[in-house]
Amino acid sequence: MLRIRSQVEAVGMRLFAIENLPQNWMDKIKLGLPGRDEQLDNIGKTIQNMGAAGIPVLGYNFMPMRSRTGYAWRTSGDPLWARGGQECQVSIMNSPLPLL
C-alpha cells in the first residue's frame, strides 16, 4: 500500500481511495461457501493496511456476483490503455494488499 501511494504521490497526486476489490476476493462471502471467513479476514487486513498507509476510503461493491464497470482486470501481459491514452497495468493477487 505504501509503495502504491508513493508511486501516485511521485507524480503530484494524492491516493485518496481504492475502489472495487476483485470479484474473486468476495465470491465465497457472497455465496456462503467454505473459505468465506478467510476472504473476510483478507478484506479486513486490506482495510487495516489502507488505514496504516493513510488511504482513508474503500469503495466496495457487493453486487450479487458480477459487477461490470467496463474496466479490465489484468494480472500480467501488455499494459492496458485507459482514458486519455494513459498506460496502466494492474497486478492483483488473491491475498490482501500488503502495507509495504
Question: What total number of domains does the chain contain?
Answer: 1
Residue 100 lies in a domain: no
Residue 7 lies in a domain: yes
Residue 95 lies in a domain: no
Residue 97 lies in a domain: no
In 15-93, alpha helices (H): 27-31, 36-52
CA-based radius of gyration for the chain: 14
Residue 9 lies in a domain: yes
CA atoms 9, 13, 19, 23: torsion sign: negative
pLDDT for residue 58: 92
Q: Is the pTM of this model over 0.75?
A: no
Enclosing domain of residue 55:
2-88
Residues in the chain: 100
Helix, strand or coil, per DSSP, at residue 57: strand
Whether 46 and 96 have beta carbons less than 8 Å apart is answered as yes
- Per-10-residue mean pLDDT for the chain, 100 residues long? 89 89 84 92 93 91 56 54 62 50
pLDDT for residue 10: 93
Residue 60 lies in a domain: yes
